[in-house]
Amino acid sequence: MSARPMTDEATLPPAAFATAAKPLVRAVGMRKHFEGDGHVVRAVQDVSFELAPGEVLGLVGESGSGKSTLGRLVLRLLEATAGRAEVDGTDIHALPRAQLRRFRRKMQMVFQDPFASLNPRMTVGAALAESLLLHGVCTRAQVRERSAALLARVGLRPDMLDRYPKAFSGGQRQRVAIARALAPEPRFIVADEPVSALDVSVQAEIVNLLQDLQRDLGLAMLFISHDLSVVESVSDRVMVLYLGRTMEIAPTEALYRRPAHPYTAALLQAAPGGQRERTLVLRGEIPSPAAPPSGCVFRTRCPFAIEACAREVPELRAVGAGHFKACIRDDLPL
């Protein structure tokens, strides 16, 4: 395995260590660059955070901000360009492939599109059995009973085990995907836009199901979404990404009541049904991660940008209890 550049912990922002309890998940200086056609796409750039057992961290930002890439990095579904992700004290990016496969029992993912994430040629029962047996959760003799219990846990009938994914509605397929993620009895789940592909009529049901399971099973969860109202309802803390960098991270109530970064404030004001007065409007489109602006990556769309913003890459710094922002200014009328 080739050596990866590692981030010196002495240079990590304090937001990386914001949780009070011993962390279950610890991302340190995560970075992902994609190379091709003579360009380097900086999808995730030096992101650090911690997640305590049973905690939910919401991850928000516009499309192209690096949310899904970060979620995959933390589970090592993508190889990191730099940094590391620790789960239960183990750096998963340093594990040989054979050990990584065994370790995946502790961490699972719920994907955005349940139809794409399920094998159309496998019955629901076969998909659940595959996960249960692969991770040694039960014996073959116990598979049927355990699979039926998993379906019941997500609100589906045991007699659905012999059906194929095409026989289910979108909401039902997502319930199956959640059951499959729960099958190895993980401690950490990444939920990547888990309701955005579903009809509005069933989105709340799936969100409520995830909340109930997270609470009942004590799961740590990285909840990725562009829907700020959903993130507010499920998260203990929220991290805001823009062009692969962390703009702000804070306890949910503090971030929604008093955002400290202009990007966060603009997102909250633009959210449907938002209660904040619309005083900030994001100008233009998010720049290409292949050619990010110098200094603060948000400066080209920020109404408060000054000359220094083009020269300095702002570090995350404390502005309150567990509340950090990456902005050099403290005089903004947010």
Mean pLDDT over 3-27 rounds to 59
Q: Please report, rounded to a whole number, the percentage of residues in the chain having pLDDT higher than 90.
A: 81
Dump pLDDT digits (tens) for 111-138.
Answer: 998 888 899 999 999 999 999 999 999 9
Q: In the predicted model, is pLDDT for residue 19 greater than 80?
A: no
Predicted model pTM: 0.92
Dump pLDDT digits (tens) for 158-167.
Answer: 999 999 999 9
Q: Confidence class of residue 151 from pLDDT cuts 50, 70 and 90? A: very high
Q: In the predicted model, is pLDDT for residue 270 greater than 80?
A: yes
Which residue from 95, 107, 83 is spatially nearest to 246, judged by alpha carbons? Answer: 83
Distance between CA 265 and CA 253 in Å, rounded?
Answer: 14
Q: In the predicted model, is pLDDT for residue 5 greater than 80?
A: no
Q: Confidence class of residue 272 from pLDDT cuts 50, 70 and 90? A: confident
Distance between CA 107 and CA 190 in Å, rounded?
Answer: 8
The pLDDT value given to residue 115: 82
Give the strands of the sheet with 317-320, arranged side by side: 107-110, 188-192, 220-224, 56-60, 237-242, 245-251, 323-325, 317-320
